[in-house]
Structure 1
Amino acid sequence: MNCLSKLLDAAAKCGVFQYHPKCKKLGLTHLSFTDVLLIFSKCTLDSLIGIQSVLTIFYECSSIKVKCELFSLGMSGEVLNDVQRCTGFKVDLLPVRYLGISLVTKKLTVHNCHVLFEKIMDKLSHWFNKHLSYTSRLQLIRSVLLGVIIFGVVTSSFPRLF
C-alpha cells in the first residue's frame, strides 16, 4: 500500500486530481487504515477520473483491485450520475458507519459519539464484575479506552472519498 500512497501523492502534486479544499494546505490526499483507504479530492468529474486512473495504474502494477465508494456533499444528482457512469464508483450518502462509528464531515457532537460511549460503558460494566484489583482495573481501562478513543476520533473525522 505504500506504493499506492506514493502514487496518490505524486498524482495530486502533478495535477492528475485536485486536492480537497480543506486538505490542500496540508497536502493531504488520503488516510490509510487496515482495510480502508480514504481518498480526499475536490468534487469534480476530472478529479475523480484522475483518481480512477491512479487506481488503474496501481492495479496494473500490483494486481490488487480496489473497491471504490463515493461519499459526496454538495454535488447534484445529475453530476453524481455522471460520475457513477464514467468511473463505476458506487455512490452512497453520508453519514455512514465504519466499525460502528459515524463518519461525519463536521465537528463531532455528543450524538455522533453515542455508540462509542455505549461500547465503552458496556466494557466497563463487564470489567467491574470481574475480580480485578483496583490497579489492574485502572491499567485495563487506560490501555483499552485510550485506543478506542484515538481510533474513534481519527476514523469518524474523515469520510472515505469526496
Structure 2
Amino acid sequence: MNHHLLVIFISIGLFSCQNGNIESQNIVEPQVSANEYISFGDSSFATDNSMTAADLVTAFETGESDTVFATVAGPITKVCTTKGCWMSTAIDSNNSLFVDYDYEFLLPTNSKGQKMVMTGYAYWDSTTVAELKHYAEDRGASEEEIASIMNPTGEVKFKAKGVKIAISTSNEE
C-alpha cells in the first residue's frame, strides 16, 4: 500500500513540473551569441560583410531586380514604442529605411540608438495614409503631426528575417 502511495505522489510531482515547462515553452527568449549580439528571429547569418542602408538603397535603385537580399548594419533610429513591431535605420541625415518583420519577432521597445545588423530583403512599396498615421502614433507623434499626414508615400522598405542588436559594454556613442 505504501508503495502505491509513493508512486502516486511521485507521478503528481512529475506532472506538475511538466505543466510549468509547457507554459514556459511559449515564451521566446532572445539568443545571445558569442560575438556579443542579442538575436531576434533568424540568427544564422554572419554579421561581417554587411552594408549600410545607404548602400542598400543605392544598390536597389540601380539594380534590375524588384527585390534585393542583403545584410545591413547601422543604428536603430526609431522603433515602435508600443510593441517593437517595426524599426527604422538611417539612410542619411534626412532619410530612414523602414524595417518590419511580419510579427515573427519583436524588438525591445527601448532599442532606439542601439547598433544592429539585420538580414532580409529590400523591396519597393507604397505606404497608405492610414499606415503612415498608425506609424506616427506608434512613435509618439503629436496630434498635429498625425493630422498633417495627407498623402501616401512610395519608398524602399526592408523585410528583416533576423536582427542582431549589439550588446553595449560601454557608453561609447
Q: Which structure has the highest strand share of the two?
A: 2
State which structure, 1 or 2, has the greater radius of gyration over its C-alpha atoms. 2
Q: If each structure's helix is expressed as a fraction of its own residues, which one has the higher value?
A: 1
TM-score by length of 1: 0.20
TM-score (structure 2 length as normaliser): 0.19
